[in-house]
Chains A and B, each alone.
Chain A
């Protein structure tokens, strides 16, 4: 019953989930079991790149849930991603122990460099993985709850909400740039050694992180499907289309928006936490408003309002970016901007909508052929 609700009626989603599952099986085999000389070998660099894309896809999924279904455009979702990333980064920093450049058993290098004597209170507990994992969920979740409570209660919507979320991520970026904040200033957190006692640079750890990202993405997809196919999901769609009508139907619109926003922020936080050990660094640049805007472009390109569209968008735009920046590293913003304009003008339903349009044309011509 539940599987039917989540999957059967969702062909595109099944296809995308199947592809992710297939990647999760094939890529580790091609990386670990196939010798490097073979043309079928997948390099560890490619594995990490794919792992990064999986995290981006999870982030795009989180944004699509609130933008595509509830119509809440957040231009600051990168903030929750970065906060999850920082929580993971703090755990990884504590794992370094006395192997840092200054060899201090307790303090990370940048604190020794700043002549700090004690570990700040908010760094306590991050030596334990379970605590860090809890913070990865709680920090973005609580921030989203407080922020959302204030914004939705005051009925801040549309472009105004987008602007204040943008301000939120910008403010956090400026704050995290300060050395006094105790998060490594503009260098951020880096030089990680190991995660859960596995060396972070080992091929097998890379594969493990890649698999964790893939599984997280698939589970998150199913969770999002569960929400949007539930009765609450229909309420959420109606809030998007006719907010005041939903209110007159007796639904407390604010509470729906708030819980959805919190869930979305938690997903973004998890994505950030999986991203950081794979790229090996987290710095305040992740809070940059530009990142959040790029994220919106991924979702718009893939197809807003279909969960798998967000995943398709994240993969295709980021693949495009990887290819493009290899040749013209500085010029990426131009194709990105062009893409956004084109998608808005020509493909309002994104790449996924394009496939739908082809199908419609095909069935229309089929009908004409059969008198």
Chain B
């Protein structure tokens, strides 16, 4: 038996989803917004994920930690559709089966991902970067002929303010500092009004002050969005986490508050070795 298993109502039939905006409100009536159940992925025989079970509640801020090779990145790949799992199921809300959708459909549908390395579009300005990330019709002919609506521009200004880059809106993104690039990328995710944000190592390489600002930013986002943070920096995790999940060899080793997890003998063994 899996102690972490939640009750997803299996009698509800999965909807065949073609429309990327899913066309209907997300059903989160049972609590979790994201269900990852018994997911396994292997690459050439190496099991990157091994019956992984993970449930993320709506509006929660969850930190995922684990040693190298624990499957953190693969987990994100599976949720965002970059890697298709060998077995198991991934549901967004009660009814949307993410295994059936492609990367851009999942992205449009409300799951945003921030990569480890800041990958803003360096040739464009801060404003243009956010413009590009705006939610809405992303078909070629539409973006060719239409400008942003007033409402979208307001949203853009709001996000600029949230990430603290209002002053540098016309600067080229390539000239931003490392921390600013990371915030810009988070801002780009916010432009899509995501329900779930996946954030991969947000504070790697940041100065102390930048780390603090990032912690503030992420905690302010929780509540409005579900935020999943993968991070190595334990001090940072402690400063933001309410609930921590420890991955090891592709499955969940422990889950709970930071203190609970740190005193768990299994976790200590994995981190300190036998």
Residues of A within 8 A of B (CB): 227, 230-232, 234-235, 237-238, 240-242, 245-253, 255-256, 259
- List chain B residues, Cβ under 8 A from A238: 121, 123-124, 132
A241 and B121 in contact (CB under 8 A), knowing A232-B140, A249-B132?
Answer: yes
Nearest-Cβ distance from residue A64 to partner chain B, whole angstroms: 15
| B108 contacts A250, C-beta separation under 8 Å | yes
Does A231 contact B121, Cβ atoms closer than 8 Å? no
Q: Does B16 contact A (CB under 8 A)?
A: no
Closest CB-CB distance, A231 to chain B, in whole Å?
A: 4
List the A side residues contacting B119 at CB < 8 Å. Answer: 242, 245
A237 to B122, CA, bound (A): 10
Contacts A/B (CB < 8 Å), 6 sampled: A231-B147, A231-B148, A234-B131, A242-B119, A249-B192, A252-B139
Q: With an 8 A cutoff between CB atoms, is B115 at the interface?
A: yes
Kindly identify which residue among A241, A246, A252, A255 contacts B123, using a CB–CB cutoff of 8 Å: A241
* Contact call A249/B107, Cβ cutoff below 8 A: yes
List, in ascending order, chain A residues with CB within 8 A of B147's CB. Answer: 231
State how many angstroms separate the Cβ of A264 from the closest Cβ of chain B. 14
Asked if A232 meets B144 with Cβ closer than 8 Å, knowing A237-B121, A250-B104, the reply is yes
Which B positions have Cβ atoms within 8 angstroms of A? 20, 80, 103-104, 107-108, 112-113, 115, 119, 121-124, 128, 131-133, 135, 138-141, 143-148, 188, 192
- With A250-B108, A252-B138 known to touch, is A231 a contact of B123 (CB < 8 Å)? no
Q: How far is the CA of A252 from the CA of B103 in the complex (A)?
A: 9
Shortest Cβ distance from residue A118 to the other chain B in the assembled complex, whole angstroms: 42
Tell me which of A227, A234, A250, A255 contacts B192 (CB under 8 A).
A250
Q: What's the Cα separation between A209 and B80 when bound, in Å?
A: 54
C-alpha gap A240/B188 in the complex (Å): 18
Identify the interface centre among B108, B122, B140: most chain A CB within 10 Å of its CB: B140
Tell me the bound Cα distance from A81 to B121 in angstroms.
33
Q: A230-B144, A248-B80, A256-B140 are in contact. Are A235 and B132 (CB under 8 A)?
A: yes
Are A230 and B143 within 8 A (Cβ)? yes
Cross-chain contact of A248 among B113, B128, B131, B146 (Cβ < 8 A): B113
**Interfacial chain A residues near B188, Cβ < 8 Å:** 249
- Point out the residue from A242, A250, A253, A256 that lies within 8 Å of B20, measured CB to CB: A250
Which B-chain residue is minimally distant from A230 (CB atoms)?
Answer: B144
Residues in B with CB closer than 8 Å to A230 are 143-145
A247 to B122, CA, bound (A): 16
**Complex formed: what's the CA distance from A246 to B148 in Å?**
18
Interface-centre pick from A227, A238, A256 (highest chain B CB count, 10 A): A238
